[in-house]
Structure 1
């Protein structure tokens, strides 16, 4: 069966694909018996590669023509245009009644701008690592009470043992951590911190000054 017998169907097929994916998507049909130099018999969005009906095939198409492969499809491989734009390409063999490839359906999608946009997005959302004394994530609180609660929890995790068995040195370390994070700047934080660590406010400020009880 000659590939031209199905040409009307192929034209409707590639037009449907091109319409679905837009002007950056070139879709072509290659007649493998027409030879490498003039294999394109139908094409949509030829501006992507600058080709038209009667023009040359891609390297993959040429290899298929040369090797006379019965069936070897190629999916999502990278190609380039003469002016350096990057394409995502797929080549699908269309068999004849004997199972040999009589034609190729080739899709070339120009992803150059998408790659540029992707790089811009990656640069924008990248986060620099900040050296911290603990390994917990920084949580954005909904109010100042939540902030103090989170800081106290961080100080507790820093010590890593129940308050009931913490030594004076443990509690002093926790209080120093809270001070370094600015927790004592929060109104009435001293009362809440003292209550959590089961110490008096006098002991709290004594710890901050490295004095004995």
Structure 2
């Protein structure tokens, strides 16, 4: 019997990406220049996952740019049934507050092959929140600090700083256990998906790449024996 399932890279998959481009353009046209809509192709390297973007000035991104935190998390976890993340707050590097939604698109085999992201700049609306409360209210509890939308090149630096903050001391004062803890955090949050991240992380923590990956292997082995 002929296999009629969709295959990655097939015309059907290409047609799906083209449909997402059309949908993205329509959404952005409906809501205006403050509404950024992004299509990520997960078959691409995370450094270049954006295949379509409308109103990229909102976050400063363009076609060919890398993945956001949300996309890296999906690539890292490879969750076969992720739940769409709707109406949450994000923040751009220049301080804009966005109301965002992330929709996971599956291929014929049920695997997530693309992501449609909608980011609406509500910075100006927040100044008149009383009159426009219904439009800017999110479905999640208020966050003390909105999530950041960053390019993949900036994401690694941000994750490294988070790992240092997690340990609570500068690298110069870290012992082996501190560095293992920091590197474990980086591994769990997709830092090693970034191109040449191993070199940068090893240099930052003052260790060799062999030591770096031995720290990761050590933690993975400990996780298996617990």
* TM-score for both structures, normalised by structure 2: 0.51
4+ residue segments displaced more than 4 Å: 119-122
Q: Within 2, Cα distance between the matches of 1:94 and 1:105?
A: 7
Pick from 36, 45, 48: which aligns with 2:55? 45
Where do 5+ consecutive residues of structure 1 fail to align? 123-213
Q: Secondary structure at the match of 1:103?
A: strand
Aligned length in residues: 122
Match for residue 17 of structure 1 among 6, 27, 44? 27
Higher RCO structure, 1 or 2 (CA under 8 Å, sep 6+): 2
What are the within-5 Å matches in structure 2 for residues 50-69 of structure 1? 50-69=60-79
Give 3-state SS (helix, strand or coil) of 2:87's partner.
strand
TM-score calculated relative to the size of structure 1: 0.54
Q: What displacement does 1:119 show?
A: 6.1
The residue number in structure 1 matching 2:100 is 89
Residue ranges of structure 2 left out of the alignment (5+ in a row): 1-6, 134-226
Comparing 4-13 with 91-100, which one deviates more in the overlay?
A: 4-13
Cα contact 1:71–1:95 (8 A) shared by 2: no
Does the 8 A contact of 1:29 with 1:104 survive in 2?
Answer: yes
| In 1: Cα distance, 2:22 partner to 2:102 partner | 18
Q: Whose radius of gyration is greater, 1 or 2?
A: 1
Do 2:42 and 2:114's aligned partners in 1 also have CA atoms closer than 8 Å?
Answer: yes
Partner SS state of residue 112, structure 1:
coil
